[in-house]
């Protein structure tokens, strides 16, 4: 332990402990939000972005459909990201916001004030927005600011009997939200795999899965990944998302790598109908035990035999580190069998034992789950 501690302390002393470069500069969302905060409809002020989801829901329920549509058209980024707004209205608003963002990037591709690298990056972003605009996609959140944030729904969220939320880790942004190669290592592929596996496990159950990349994740394994600052803001956003989900059906969270830090910090603020929190390849949940998370949800943990995260010191030294390893007996989580799961990024690969267990958790088939020898279900 002394060598890892020495390295941590040296990095802390020489580079500072906050990854300020991960915080995006104000952008089009901030500008639109300023206009929203000065706006009104039918003589009523518009709800603030931090208003409780129930208040936002009540506000929209008092509007006519044309009034709702006009707000979405005038303030697509705000409405598309407003927890408590009708789900289908958010989908529509985000399509409008994506179309505007795509045109902005198309113009930047030929902007001579940009370097060739900047023009190339604009082209990549334009292609990503084009993909997100494909027919049938249900974008629950979208913000092009900085490296960007997004969330996508698979299934019918309004009528789901069970909802699962996939929370990814480091290097998550708009350009890595989905991948063609290594598909199941990106949030969209992870959520698609979970949704398909749930549907196969219980075809008669109405499920919905959310690929939730609606927070600013650390870039790489720098200091921001070793501290909880970005996770704390992500936890606030995650709790808001879950509180805004329609109905009060059972919800399960599936948190990968740094995403488990986000889920750990959010746990105490989640509603009671969050029944399960499962972490995979976790560096820690910023708690000494599952009992200290402040949630009544069942806590599950899994780690593949060859996951490099096992070599990361599970410590808490001031702002550095995320605490006890969730797969250890002293943490008290229900340890899932890794089985055929491989590496740090293979937990959602089709055929992986972890994915099968996640689908069973998400569909409520707790009795069918395979744990490690001696672990409790």
**Residue-wise pLDDT tens digits, 170-184:** 999 999 999 999 999
Report long-range pairs for 49-57 (Cβ below 8 Å, ≥24 apart): 49/78, 49/81, 49/82, 51/84, 52/84, 52/243, 53/83, 53/84, 53/240, 53/243, 53/244, 54/84, 55/84, 56/82, 56/83, 56/84, 56/85, 56/244, 57/84, 57/85, 57/86, 57/244
Each domain of the chain, given as residue ranges in start order, spans 1-20+146-377, 25-136
Contact criterion met (CB below 8 Å) for 347 and 255:
no
Tens digit of pLDDT for each residue in 78-114? 999 999 999 999 999 999 999 999 999 999 999 999 9
- pLDDT band at 31; cut points 50, 70, 90: very high
What is d(CA 358, CA 364) in angstroms, rounded to the nearest whole number?
A: 10
Residue 39 has pLDDT above 60, yes or no: yes
What is d(CA 283, CA 281) in angstroms, rounded to the nearest whole number?
A: 7
% of the chain beyond a pLDDT of 90: 81
Contact criterion met (CB below 8 Å) for 373 and 329:
no
Query: Which has more pLDDT, 132 or 377?
Result: 132
Query: Residue 54, Cβ neighbours under 10 Å: how many?
Result: 12
Tens digit of pLDDT for each residue in 214-272? 999 999 877 888 888 899 999 999 999 999 999 899 999 999 999 999 999 999 999 99
Contact criterion met (CB below 8 Å) for 189 and 230:
no
Lowest mean pLDDT among 132-141, 316-325, 334-343: 316-325
CA distances from 358 to 18, 278, 308 (A): 33, 8, 21
Contact criterion met (CB below 8 Å) for 19 and 230:
yes
Contact criterion met (CB below 8 Å) for 12 and 223:
yes
What is d(CA 223, CA 41) in angstroms, rounded to the nearest whole number?
A: 45
What is d(CA 250, CA 9) in angstroms, rounded to the nearest whole number?
A: 42
Contact criterion met (CB below 8 Å) for 83 and 53:
yes
Tens digit of pLDDT for each residue in 268-305? 999 999 999 999 999 999 999 999 999 999 999 999 99
Residue 139 confidence (pLDDT): 98
Residue 134 has pLDDT above 70, yes or no: yes
Strands in 138-143's sheet, in edge-to-edge order, are: 138-143, 149-155, 207-213, 162-167, 251-256, 274-280, 298-302, 334-335
Domain spanning 1-20+146-377, CATH class:
alpha beta
């Amino acid at each position: 332990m002394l060598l890892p501690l020495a390295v941590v302390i040296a990095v802390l002393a020489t580079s500072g402990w906050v990854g300020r470069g991960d915080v995006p500069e104000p952008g089009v969302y901030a500008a639109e939000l300023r206009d929203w905060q000065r706006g009104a409809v039918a003589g009523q002020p518009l709800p603030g972005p931090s208003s409780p989801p129930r208040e936002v829901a009540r506000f929209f329920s008092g509007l006519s459909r044309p009034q709702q549509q006009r707000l979405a058209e005038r303030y697509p980024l705000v409405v598309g990201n407003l927890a408590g707004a009708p789900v289908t209205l958010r989908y529509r608003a985000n399509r409008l916001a994506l179309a505007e963002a795509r045109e902005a990037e198309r113009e930047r591709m030929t902007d001579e004030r940009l370097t060739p690298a900047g023009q190339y990056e604009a082209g990549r972003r334009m292609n990503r927005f084009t993909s997100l605009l494909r027919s049938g996609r249900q974008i629950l959140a979208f913000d092009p600011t900085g490296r960007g944030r997004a969330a996508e729904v698979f299934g019918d969220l309004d009528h789901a009997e069970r909802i699962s939320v996939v929370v990814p880790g480091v290097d998550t942004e708009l350009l890595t939200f989905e991948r063609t190669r290594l598909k199941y290592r990106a949030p969209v592929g992870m959520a698609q795999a979970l949704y398909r596996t749930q549907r196969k496990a219980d075809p008669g159950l109405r499920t919905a899965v959310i690929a939730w990349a609606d927070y600013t994740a650390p870039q790489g394994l720098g200091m921001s990944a070793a501290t909880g600052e970005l996770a704390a803001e992500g936890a606030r956003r995650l709790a808001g998302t879950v509180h805004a989900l329609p109905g009060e059906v059972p919800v399960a969270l599936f948190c990968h790598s740094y995403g488990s830090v986000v889920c750990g910090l959010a746990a105490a603020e989640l509603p009671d109908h969050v029944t399960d929190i499962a972490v995979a390849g976790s560096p820690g949940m910023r708690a000494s035990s599952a009992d200290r998370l402040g949630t009544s949800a069942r806590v599950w943990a899994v780690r593949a035999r060859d996951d490099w995260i096992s070599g990361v010191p599970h410590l808490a030294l001031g702002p550095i580190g995320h605490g006890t390893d969730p797969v250890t007996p002293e943490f008290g989580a229900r340890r899932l069998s890794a089985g055929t799961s491989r590496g740090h990024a293979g937990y959602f690969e089709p055929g992986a034992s972890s994915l099968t267990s996640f689908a069973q958790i998400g569909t409520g088939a707790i009795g069918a789950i395979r744990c490690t020898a001696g672990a409790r279900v």
